[in-house]
Amino acid sequence: MKTHYYLSIFPLEALIASQLEPQQFGYYMSMGKKNGSYERMMFIELEEEFGSYFDWEYARQRCVPHEDGSPKHSVWLSVYRALEHVDLGKLGNLHLTTKDGRTLILPPGRYQPDSEAKKYYVFQELSPLTPLVVSRLNPADFCAFLTDPTNKVHVPTVVFTDLKVVDFESYDKTGNIGGIYDKNLEHLRECIADIMTQKGKPSKNVERSVDSFSYQIINEGVYVGHGSEMVMYKMPTLDEIRQQHYEWGRSSMIL
């Protein structure tokens, strides 16, 4: 059986070896062996082994079928600082698994800036930290800023997503974004006003951490990067989800 290497990015950061195929692995991790977990999970399959930081030999020795021939579900290689030691060139597909074990697969690609610059973005960092942030920076510049070692506060590598934003001029045009802004709408307004008026402050935290995260508020995609190197996983459109990923769309409450 093939050994797969999965980089978990939310709700925990970890590197896990498994003989389960991606869809099976997502179901196992979200639902549990006895269907008792019910937890959404985001993970990326790595294309192959690389470097010497992770103990690949340990994975090869431990990730073997059980005596009855069934596949090994998981061998944990790291639960701390895994992301920063992953070669971005080895990142494969991103998998977004819902609480009932349905998975949407997104291939890696390159970020293309919007032809028309936005005044501001709302970003949800997913790993290694999880603040909700407003920023004047586009995703590529935000990634470079967060991972710049000359900044007093930075991380080696970051995973984040840009979020759908409340249309303050017409709430009816906002669409289905769930309840993420319900409890802090005025605070969000204030944070946006701060970055728009304070030119030396490109970003500001809205919340320091997040306990839960909904796929329905992802706007353009999910980003993984450090410095000028960044991989983008583009979200399908609402019509594409309805036509090609209907069951996942219902499970994720997008449809």
pLDDT in tens, 85-135: 999 999 999 999 999 999 999 999 999 887 777 889 999 999 999 999 999
At residue 201 the predicted structure's pLDDT band, cuts being 50, 70 and 90, is confident
- Helix, strand, or coil (residue 180): coil
Q: What is the pLDDT of residue 165?
A: 82
Tell whether 253 is covered by a domain: no
Q: What is the pLDDT of residue 198?
A: 84
Q: What DSSP state is assigned to residue 3? A: P
The verdict on 46 and 86 lying in the same domain is yes
Tell whether 248 is covered by a domain: no
- Poorest-confidence range of 7-21, 26-40, 56-70? 26-40
pLDDT surpasses 60 at 170: no
The verdict on 128 and 230 lying in the same domain is yes
The verdict on 99 and 181 lying in the same domain is no
Residue finishing a domain among 81, 106, 131: 106
- Poorest-confidence range of 5-14, 63-72, 181-190, 224-233? 181-190
The verdict on 91 and 140 lying in the same domain is no
Top mean pLDDT of 26-35, 153-162, 167-176, 202-211 is at 153-162
Tell whether 196 is covered by a domain: yes
The verdict on 140 and 212 lying in the same domain is yes
The verdict on 135 and 216 lying in the same domain is yes
Rounded to an integer, the average pLDDT of 48-64 is 97
Distance of alpha carbon 91 from alpha carbon 127, whole angstroms: 15
Distance of alpha carbon 150 from alpha carbon 48, whole angstroms: 32
pLDDT surpasses 90 at 228: yes
Output the average pLDDT for the chain.
90
Distance of alpha carbon 7 from alpha carbon 170, whole angstroms: 39
Tell whether 171 is covered by a domain: yes
- C-alpha distances out from residue 158 to 10, 41, 138, 214, Å: 12, 17, 15, 19
Residue finishing a domain among 54, 78, 106: 106
The verdict on 80 and 180 lying in the same domain is no
> Nearest 5°: CA angle at 222, between 218 and 226?
145
Distance of alpha carbon 186 from alpha carbon 189, whole angstroms: 5
- C-alpha distances out from residue 50 to 86, 155, 157, Å: 8, 22, 17
At residue 32 the predicted structure's pLDDT band, cuts being 50, 70 and 90, is confident
The verdict on 130 and 220 lying in the same domain is yes
Domain that holds residue 57: 4-106
The verdict on 233 and 135 lying in the same domain is yes
Per-residue pLDDT tens digits for 146-161: 999 999 989 999 999 9
pLDDT surpasses 90 at 181: no
At residue 183 the predicted structure's pLDDT band, cuts being 50, 70 and 90, is low
The verdict on 138 and 230 lying in the same domain is yes
The verdict on 95 and 130 lying in the same domain is no
Q: What is the pLDDT of residue 177?
A: 55
- Poorest-confidence range of 67-81, 115-129, 173-187? 173-187
Tell whether 224 is covered by a domain: yes
Q: What DSSP state is assigned to residue 216? A: G
Tell whether 79 is covered by a domain: yes
Contact at 8 Å (CB) between 9 and 155? no
Residue found by looking up tokens 């249309």 in the block: 167
The verdict on 209 and 165 lying in the same domain is yes
Per the structure, the count of domains in the chain is 2
Contact at 8 Å (CB) between 213 and 126? yes
Residue finishing a domain among 106, 140, 173: 106
> Nearest 5°: CA angle at 43, between 150 and 140?
35
User: pTM for this one?
Assistant: 0.92
